[in-house]
Amino acid sequence: MDWKSVNFDWNRARAFLVTAEEGSLSAAARALGMAQPTLGRQVAALEQELGVALFERVGRGLTLTPSGLELMDHVRAMGEAAARMSLSASGKAQAIEGTVSISASEVDAAFRLPPILRKLRHTAPGIDIEIVATNAESDLRRREADIAIRNYRPTQPNLVARKIRDLEGRIYATPGYLDSIGNPETPEGFSDAEFIGFNRSGEFIAAMARFGLTLTRRNFPIVSESHLVQWSQVRQGLGIGIMAADIGDAERDVVQVLPELAPVDVPVWLVAHREVHTSRRVRLVFDLMAEELARVYRAPRELNDNANR
């Protein structure tokens, strides 16, 4: 190793790492048990040593600059290595402990993750889990989560992704609601039906057109950004909505609408920061989730076929 090329103070690198993770100098100083001015001088000295600006101030907090974001991967690896060294010296190297955050949609968080988390708690009780239940995309590069379930393949080079499977999306309603509109048997018969969706945009209407349904804004008297809210309204007979088949087919209060139509296929990817290669706890959670999601995401008919074999 060319030690002459290491031209910065490692303690300053730690100050940078903790400040980035905590989001402010005051929080980082508390985490390290040191004075805020001292910590600020260490970060400023590191910026001077490297010749780059690492942070920019946003309100009362700090956010990473592009240069700081790029350096975080390397400094985080240093932090992980230092932690492993400390654990090894204290005889705790084999313990898998710490926190792992998982970003998932509301539906995944409410319906699919609980049995997986139960198994994870049994397998690795030292790991604490934070669930970020959101239909928006969590930025793994900025450490908004360690692992995410997504419906598209990520393109960022510093992310690790594994495809789980394609998920079937179908449309559902209560038998009572279908009775109220005359139980139509063709897509054309739903031209005046009421649907519940995320919004009234052309994009969502186009998605419903994949089922052969020709809809307009007037077909959506109720909209909500929450898929759980939508599903609750469908179950209570307020209209027609879309849901993954593994969840919709298991719900006794609803039935598939036009089940002979081909479903909408939605890809499911499990994504993590490349830290998954160096963090044992993140790797354990990632691998267990990949295995369990492949089972959980199977459509009900697949489960029934396997049970009858």
Contact indicator for 292, 115 with CB cutoff of 8 Å: yes
- Strands (DSSP E) contained in the chain are 55-58, 61-64, 98-104, 127-133, 147-150, 159-173, 196-197, 222-223, 241-244, 255-256, 264-273
Per DSSP, which regions of 174-279 are E strands?
Answer: 196-197, 222-223, 241-244, 255-256, 264-273
Q: What is the pLDDT of residue 7?
A: 58
pLDDT at residue 109, as a whole number:
94
Mean pLDDT for all residues in the chain: 84
Q: Which of 94-98, 125-129, 190-194, 202-206 has the lowest mean pLDDT?
A: 94-98
Alpha-carbon dihedral angle through residues 188, 192, 197, 198, given to the nearest 10 degrees: 110
* pLDDT 10s digits, 55-70: 888 777 788 888 888 8
**Structural domains in the chain?**
3-89 (1.10.10.10), 98-165+266-302 (3.40.190.10), 167-264 (3.40.190.10)
pLDDT at 231 over 90: yes
Give mean pLDDT, residues 137-153: 84
Tens digits of residue pLDDT in 85-119: 665 555 444 457 888 999 999 999 999 999 999 99
Q: How confident is the model at residue 140 (pLDDT cuts 50, 70, 90)?
A: confident
Interval 151-167 mean pLDDT: 85
Query: Would you state the structure tokens that stand for residue 297, as one six-digit string?
Result: 């995401």
pLDDT the model gives residue 95: 54
Mean pLDDT along residues 41-47: 90
Residue 14: pLDDT band (50, 70, 90) is: confident
- For the entire predicted model, the pTM comes to 0.65
Interval 243-298: pLDDT, tens: 999 999 999 999 999 999 888 888 899 999 877 777 788 889 999 999 899 887 76
**pLDDT value of position 6:** 54
Q: What is the mean pLDDT of residues 42-54?
A: 88
Which of 12, 28, 23, 18 is CA-nearest to residue 62? Answer: 23
Phi, psi of 157 (to 5 degrees): -70, -20
